[in-house]
Amino acid sequence: MIIEYPVRLQVYLAKCGCGSRRFCEDLIAQGRVMVNNRTVREMGVKVNEDDVVQVDTETVEIIDKSYYIALNKPKGFVCTNYDPNETKYARDLIEIRDRDLLFNVGRLDKDSSGLLLLTNDGEFANKVTHPSFEIEKEYLVHIDRQIDIEDLNKALRGIYIDTDRPYRLKRYEFVPRRKDYIKVTLTEGKNREVRKIFSFLGYEVKSLMRIRIGCILLGTMQPGEYRNLTKREIDGLLAGKTTLDARRKFGAALRKEKEEKARARAEKKRETFR
């Protein structure tokens, strides 16, 4: 990994695998970071290659290898790396040597399951989670009864629940032959946003599974299963893509089917006039 020094402290920490850049800024503000045995609380401080940087008195260094992992998080596991009240951590499902360097990109609450990304690349995490990049997150939601379309349209327009910024769905899609399942897509991903939206509208969420982040699909991964992202997936995610070849091939198949039906109708019409 090529680094041009001097580099901002929060960027250095992110490249050390301490967390996303925003999380590293919080570490600094909390007085948990020292540079050359001096506690640093202000932003904008830059460090050089020979500076000694510590977080919670532990020396941190830039990591040579970067990890980008997709996990199907089972229900009951938490995304934080430490909580004295919890024993089941999503990161512990990843069986690699450098597991302790990983942190999750965004979160899934304990009662939710599905696609979770983990990395040790703080810059990558910052780009994927920052609201300005508007990376789509798609969820499969099981609710207690059939939902009213007008309620969904309210969520599309935006509803105010507990902050001065609205909670808003980007789109929704009904699941064929199921009245109590719906797919919803959003971009911000506020804390428990999907659950809060449906609760505010008067519905009980029985289960919640994230099935897509940008162009990364949960696919056929089983609960607890994980895999490395491909370079193409990483590049696509950073470019803001929501689909890769799989979706395009599906679209091509639909177009081919429509063309064949159109030809069949035209042939039938010609036979009628013979």
* Number of domain units in the chain: 3
As to burial, measured by CB atoms within 10 angstroms (0-12 exposed, 13-18 middle, 19+ buried), residue 250 is exposed
- Same domain for 77 and 53: no
Say if residue 77 is in the same domain as residue 182.
no
Mean of pLDDT values over 209-238: 95
CA separation for the pair 139, 193 (Å, rounded): 11
In the chain, what percentage of residues exceed pLDDT 70? 92
The per-residue pLDDT for 198 is 96
Would you call 79 exposed, middle or buried from its count of C-beta atoms within 10 A (0-12, 13-18, 19+)? buried
Is residue 109 flagged as an active site residue?
A: yes
Mean pLDDT, rounded, for 27-44 = 94
* Same domain as 199, residue 153: yes
User: The CATH number of the domain where 170 resides is what?
Assistant: 3.30.2350.10
More confident residue, 25 or 254: 25
Residue 247: closest CA among 255, 239, 258 = 255
> Which helix (H) or strand (E) element contains residue 173?
strand 171-174
Residue 98, domain CATH: 3.30.70.580
Using DSSP bridges, classify how beta strands 205-213 and 113-119 pair: parallel, antiparallel or unpaired: parallel
205 and 225 both lie in a single domain: no
Q: Do 109 and 140 fall into the same domain? A: no
Q: How confident is the model at residue 262 (pLDDT cuts 50, 70, 90)?
A: confident
Residue 21: CATH number of its domain = 3.10.290.10
**What is the C-alpha separation between 193 and 216, in angstroms, rounded?**
20
Please measure the distance between the N-terminal and C-terminal CA atoms of the chain and give it in whole angstroms.
72
Mark whether 126 and 237 lie in a shared domain. yes
Q: Does residue 174 surpass a pLDDT of 70?
A: yes
| Whether 104 and 230 share a structural domain | yes
Same domain, 236 and 115: yes
Minimum mean pLDDT among 128-132, 170-174, 226-230: which range? 128-132
Task: Answer whether 40's CB lies under 8 Å from 33's CB.
Answer: yes
What's the pLDDT at 129? 86
Per-residue pLDDT at 248 exceeds 50: no
Q: Which residues form the domain of 73?
A: 65-133+221-244
Task: Give the model's confidence band at 272: pLDDT under 50 very low, under 70 low, under 90 confident, else very high.
Answer: low
Q: pLDDT per residue over 83-121, tens digit each?
A: 888 889 999 999 988 888 888 998 899 999 999 999 988
- 104 in Cβ contact with 117 (< 8 Å): yes
User: Which of the following is catalytic: 51, 109, 151, 180?
Assistant: 109
Binning pLDDT at 50, 70 and 90, where does residue 196 land? very high
Decide if 273 is inside a domain: no
Q: How large is the average pLDDT for residues 13-35?
A: 89
Does residue 207 register a pLDDT over 70? yes
**Residues 53, 28: Cα–Cα separation, whole Å:** 11
- Mark whether 142 and 185 lie in a shared domain: yes
pTM of the predicted structure, to 2 decimals: 0.74
Residue 249 has pLDDT above 70, yes or no: no
**Length in residues, the chain:** 274
Angstrom distance (rounded) from CA 212 to CA 218: 6
Residues 101 and 83: their CA atoms lie apart, in Å, by: 17
Backbone angles phi, psi at 159, to 5 degrees: -125, 145
Model pLDDT, residue 258? 65
Residues 120 and 239 in one domain: yes
